[in-house]
Chains A and B, each alone.
Chain A
């Protein structure tokens, strides 16, 4: 082999190596989703139609997005509020697009759309029935997750139906209205309001259940002058057991239980650049009072908007929307508040959904 031939071979090998390394460098996005994924619900910026769905794979420590667009070649919509698996499908509530987008949980292929005004959250009642709460409305819409049809609605006494929870065949429904100071229970079999439970504050927003099967309701609307409060409720007799009232300056959102359901994590968000009531807070369900110092503090001009606890690891997922004017970031912490990893996601990460 002559000198020229050697050179040609070396150049050829170099080119192949270069090209192959280029291919390797491109992040590969899973084409099948399966279970065990962590979905990052990115709201997008209101009015910009840029809600996105990101997927985080903890084994690869990699985030992929915008997965919905990548699969279906169309944008998801405006203000992607929440998501819920029912059967083999994922139901994505796109609030300001007035629709629930239904995708195949295996590959995120679009299977259909359910038109519901300003959908917020979905509560699975059975394989053929789910409730959908709705902003600016006093209705809870009833959908059939199999036929993808709206089958009815429940008229609530107040506007802004919001957080919901199913326990003992009763659906507990928050009406995030500043004139509402009750939690309502609906008979899931008849879809009729069964009872109302007086709360310590107004505007019930979110609801959870602890290890002792007591309900925790976060109420309040700080910007509208309604101080926030945690209300602990005994569901057996629908009575308020204890309440924890926040400072009028505190604006708590996104409360979640830990894996053992004995601690509550929540965000306090300050939009004015202050740090006092700003960060991730943690309290035991047995604590006598609210925590005063953040578990993870937010910096000046920073606030968090998404919070979740991985049921598999107990890791704490925190979303920073960076003002909804640029891509957000997600930080994952161990229960001792040490940072595990951080990655970028779409605009306005608002919720995490751990698909078990």
Chain B
């Protein structure tokens, strides 16, 4: 951490210097832009094509959304939890500002969603949950969100959806290609962020290094009662992520890549509103190694990837005499072969192997879980490629239990502006190591959660004039899961397979873009989500949860974006709405809905021929007092300013 602190100090100096330079040279820079070709058109949203073959080819009927380049840039000083909660119709269960945040898709819990880093699952091997507040946007080059189950392609455990994260893919350039950019930010509650992205490549070698660091006091004030306020204490955050990649071109379309991702976060846990004080804190350090090889020929792709992930969590609460160490090890290997068959169809066969092991303060001998699978996917395009059909299947052995996970999906392009899709997948989630062996309370007799997921939708892309484009996407989904795992508690909390849960709903994504002239462009967008996830049956006598919404699943959730770009200035107003969240299974207790308004501005200019992007974000502009999770207050109005200087 010392080294990271030193690096961070240097970057703060650089960023401050850049700010100073910027303030004195804005006019100059604006003048310069008149004579220079624009390298970056503000307001232009580029959708990255995914490098995930499964998403690109074998999931034509699955709803997959991509976070565009402009949005990634807007949030480059923030984490994925902030980005997704403001821009995607998923519920981010955040335990406070800059605190633990988990992903909840379509009424599924955090443990029922997967996060994949270049195809490798990176959830905590014990809990089956990923803290997406520890995933810096800066380190990600491509973010895709897969809605709905797709266990055949991305593995069991993927009940509600998947978050696909991708790094920069190696690009080889015989002329020698270099890139270097630095980012920095500062904001309310003594938030400081800094980062660097750099890469070098020649005709054989690709090297990149990305790093991101952040500190924050998070000492915001909040309303305690109608006429009294309090300040958040014990809320400091210190974190750093560093990712290095080395790629080597073995031959034409034949690349070997090694990625190393290390991160270390120290977090204090502020007192909940019902606590007098808190001294809780935890340190979470992870090292992730990924060795990735792929070779392409005209009709064939071979690939293999092997990863090792080590997560360590040290939790301390001296008031409760807690001092625990949990260490998990995950090994993942996948080898695959894809081949074009004729002009219109492709076959993918792959073998994923996964082993996870946990060592806790209580169980020195460790517990482990292994998954081995043989999977295949076949895609065919018919009727002039209007109809795209994929069938996929996975035979998986989890420890000693075998399961077959079939799925099929299709899309049909009726016209160039209207397409339909449909998707049916078997859903399956094996209990996590924590659910099985947590001491005390783990239940080694837990059964897997299983069921079926169906979804369908259509996409409308209209371009009535060359200046106006309209995008509308609607999805409906239906999912029934048996043996749903619920933790029952008291002195000891134990998970049980007690219920069947029926989830269904509708999601829409709408975007209107109007380019008035070469300088002005307007945009308007809205995402909505309506999710009903209710307990259908239960093994418990006199259970009052039947027909009731499961906890922490808002029925309504939506985001609105409206703004404009003028030359190099981009302004966006983002508004989010999150509906009631019940905190008990019988709907007897709930948290009130909340709205947040967030104003975002970005301005691009040049600083000594170097592109400089200045961003300013005002979050919760209406100063709403709200909680995402009960009794964990969120901050009122707050600011975050950032810079990105592209030196090379």
Query: Which A positions have Cβ atoms within 8 angstroms of B?
Result: 45-50, 74-75, 77-78, 94, 96-99, 115, 117-118, 135-136, 159, 223-224, 253, 269, 271-273, 299-303, 305, 321-327, 329, 347-348
Contacts and interface: CB of A to CB of B under 8 A. Distances in A.
Closest 4 pairs (CB-CB, A-B): A323-B488, A49-B274, A326-B586, A223-B440
A290 B250 CA distance: 75
B630 A48 contact: yes
A97 B540 contact: no
A98 B440 CA distance: 24
A177 to B, nearest CB: 11
Given A118-B319, A325-B585, A301 B272 contact: no
A324 B631 contact: no
B572 interface: no
A74 B540 CA distance: 32
Interface in B490-541: 490-494, 496, 498, 539-541
Given A159-B321, A302-B541, A347-B584, A115 B496 contact: no
A272 B498 contact: no
Interface of B: 225, 272-277, 319-321, 440-441, 443, 445, 486-494, 496, 498, 539-545, 551, 583-586, 588-589, 630-631
Given A45-B489, A324-B489, A302 B540 contact: yes
Nearest to B550: A325
Contacts of A223: 440-441, 491-492
Contact of A327 (B486, B489, B584): B584
Contacts of A49: 272-274, 630-631
A97 B631 CA distance: 12
Contacts of A45: 489, 583-584
Contacts, number: 114
A273 B443 CA distance: 10
16 contacts: A46-B489, A49-B272, A49-B631, A78-B274, A97-B275, A271-B441, A272-B494, A299-B541, A321-B490, A322-B542, A324-B488, A325-B487, A325-B489, A325-B545, A327-B586, A347-B588
Given A98-B276, A326-B544, A329-B542, A301 B496 contact: yes
Nearest to A325: B585
Contact of A303 (B319, B443, B490): B490
A272 B551 CA distance: 22
Contacts of B539: 300-301
Contact of A115 (B276, B542, B631): B276
A interface, by DSSP: helix, strand, loop or mixed?
Answer: loop
B361 to A, nearest CB: 14
Contacts of B589: 48, 50, 347
Contacts of B630: 48-50
Given A45-B489, A118-B319, A136-B320, A322 B540 contact: yes
Given A49-B274, A97-B274, A271 B584 contact: no
A325 B499 CA distance: 13
Given A305-B490, A323-B489, A273 B276 contact: no
Contact of B275 (A98, A159, A269, A300): A98
A322 B543 CA distance: 8
B553 to A, nearest CB: 14
A325 B275 contact: no
A135 B317 CA distance: 13
A303 B542 CA distance: 13
A136 B319 contact: yes
Given A323-B489, A327-B586, A301 B540 contact: yes
A118 B322 CA distance: 14
Contacts of A303: 490
A327 to B, nearest CB: 5
A58 to B, nearest CB: 22
Contact of B544 (A159, A327, A348): A327
Given A322-B542, A326-B585, A327-B588, 15 more contacts: A45-B489, A48-B630, A98-B277, A115-B276, A271-B441, A271-B488, A271-B490, A271-B492, A273-B496, A301-B496, A302-B540, A321-B490, A322-B540, A323-B486, A323-B487
B490 A99 contact: no
Nearest to B589: A50
Of A96, A99, A326, the most chain B CB neighbours within 10 A belong to A326
Contact of B276 (A97, A224, A327): A97
Given A74-B225, A301-B539, A48 B441 contact: no
Contacts of A98: 275-277, 319
